[in-house]
Structure formats: structure tokens, C-alpha cells
Amino acid sequence: MYTITMNTDVVELKTINEVGLPLDPETFSRVILDFLGRKENLSYKSHDNFIINLEDISQFNHILNSKISYQKNIILEHFSINFGYSDGTFREINGSEALSKFLETRSIDTTSINLNWKIIIKFDHSPTIETQEIDLLFISSIEKKINDEDFSYIELSINHTNQSWALDILSAFKDKINEIAIKPSILKEKYNKITDNLFFATIVPMFFIVLGLGLTIPVAQNETQRLRQDLVQYNLKQNYKDDLSKVVGLLNITTLERSELKELGTKNKEIEKIIEKNQKNVALHLTLIVLLFIIPFVVRKYIKYSINYFNHKSFILVNNYSQRKLQKYKDDKSKITYIGFTVFVTSITFSILASVIFKVLDALVF
């Protein structure tokens, strides 16, 4: 043990035996910096989901110890593991032995693991002893979502004084990270690529707006024309005293506004039925157009559902509770449910499209 006494011009290091070593502030700063090292940071971050257990944690520690065993003048000074839980509590253990005896008895989700190593080393071409620090973080907040996606990531940070040494550690750890990582499905990659495209995000809404307007206006005009034609047919079937009365009746029917026709319908039950039938057709056509607008949202929801089905959530398995939760998650992914939902969405989508196409063709033919 030693104490440090600082004056304006002199810093004195004094041991427990009262042996003092006076140093000027510049020399003292150099001694501290040489030990701590003039550090740089090398980091890596993965947003892939993952499944990690206690054995994987031990393997990360084993990887580092294997690297250290081939080097001289190096000491693993500190190794700690910090577990974060869904209730906001944290539990820290220190050393490989504590890890081998670790037991979590609570029925609770583990949302994070932080592995930390501190290493003291003297590199061959360095005159001083330096410290290196490695921090490996796993985040798996199962219930938390960002942009409707699970919030999970892996982050590796290496504070070092020797880049080649840090790159060697990074490479070894990345290999192990790739083993436990779950790569996103091709569907998710393509979906993200499309939705991130500004051109796609602009053109698709504009297309459906133009399509909706292009269908709504002709439908309204077509149904008005169809109504008048039905009324003309009704008028021709009536028994008039002479042709002049029939012509007058036709002119009257074809020149009335829709509001006037409704008023006429209150006096004539046959005309009222014709108008009601026409109104039902208009409502049906407009409903189909609205459903056509809904299709993109239905398809998007289905794609999201498919992405979640083919992807896998992150899990940190450190107790029996998390093991059971993982098994339940796998069991809940029913192929029958997915196929049934796929058939349902496909049927509804194609039915709406077919109905809209039929109505458009019917209007064109008419």
C-alpha cells in the first residue's frame, strides 16, 4: 500500500513503511500514463438476435484465457459478470469460479449480461506496463420494442494500447459472437431494404391515391348514368295514351337531378326501388375502393407477421425460467396457424382485387 501526497511542485509516493519517493508533477503524470497506457478504443456492435447461456459465457472467458496463455508478461487482473433483470435489479459476480457456481433461482427474465475483463500487460516493444480493458455487453429486452422490433444487440468494446493485440481479441470474440447470433431471415432483409428506399416510400402512397381517385370518379359517373338508363327502361314499359306523353315522360326522367329523383321516388314505389338498388351499387363500389386502400396495410401486417414467424427472439438462458420461456416461444410458433393465416390473408386480398377488377371492367363495357 502507498499514499500520495501532492504539493504545488512535488508529488510524493509513500509506502506503508514510510519510504518516500518524491516526483515532480510531470514525472508523476508520465508514470501514471505509462501504467494506464495512452488508450484507444476498438468497438463492434451487432443488432442480430441471439441465444446465450452460461456455457457460452464461460467460452468467452476461455477464449481470452487461451489468448493470454500464449503471451508473456501478461496478467488477467479482473473478470466480472453483471446480470441485469427485468425487474430492474442487477447481480454481479467475480471470477471464473463464481461463474461455475452461479445459480439464479428467481423466476425472472434476464435482460442483459455485461462481461468485463481488465488485463495488465507489458508488450515486447514497450518499456512500460500497461492496462487493457474488454467490455462485452448483451442486451435482450424481450418486452421492449423499437419500430415494432425486438430491442436486442451485442456490443464489444476494447480499450487498448496496442492495435494488433486488440484486433486479435476482436477477431476471436467475433467468431464466437457469430456462433450465438441468429441471422435475420431473407424476408426481413428484403423488407427493410424496400421500406428504407425513399423512392418506394413516396411512389406507393401516391399510386394508391391516384388509383383511388381514378376509380371513385368514374364509379360515381357510371352509376348516375346507369340509374338514368334504368329509369328510362322503366318509363318505356309504362302505358302512355300516346307517343307524345311517352316522350315527355322520358325527358322528365332524364333531366331531373338526383335529389329530384328521390323526391319522385317517394311518390312512386317502382322508381323508389330502382333508386335504392342504384344506391346499394354505389355503396358496394365505394366499399371495394376503401378495401383496396386497406390492402397495403393488410399486406404489410402479414409481412411483419411472417418476419416474426421466421425470425427468432433473443434469449439469455441463466435459469430454468428462461429455459421454459424459450421452449414455450418455440411451441407457440405453430405451422398450422401460420399456414391458416396465410390462406386467409391471400384469399381476402385476391377476392378484393378480383371484385375491383370485375367492377372496373363492367363499367368499361357498360
Instruction: Supply the pLDDT for residue 194.
Output: 66
pTM for this model (two decimals): 0.62
Instruction: Supply the pLDDT for residue 9.
Output: 53
Cα dihedral 258, 259, 264, 265, rounded to 10, equals 80
Instruction: Supply the pLDDT for residue 311.
Output: 74
Instruction: Supply the pLDDT for residue 127.
Output: 76
Instruction: Supply the pLDDT for residue 167.
Output: 93
Instruction: Supply the pLDDT for residue 83.
Output: 96
Q: Mean pLDDT in each 10-residue stretch from start to end of the chain (366 residues)?
A: 47 47 52 58 92 95 90 86 94 94 92 94 79 93 54 91 90 94 75 66 69 61 65 61 51 56 58 68 72 76 76 88 88 76 79 70 57
Q: How far apart are CA 18 and CA 3, in angstroms?
A: 9
- The distance between the two most distant Cα atoms of the chain, rounded to a whole number of Å, is 135
Q: For residue 308, give the C-alpha cell.
A: 416474426
Instruction: Supply the pLDDT for residue 250.
Output: 53
Contact 312, 182 (CB under 8 A): yes
Q: For residue 107, give the C-alpha cell.
A: 423466476
Q: How far apart are CA 112 and CA 139, in angstroms?
A: 4
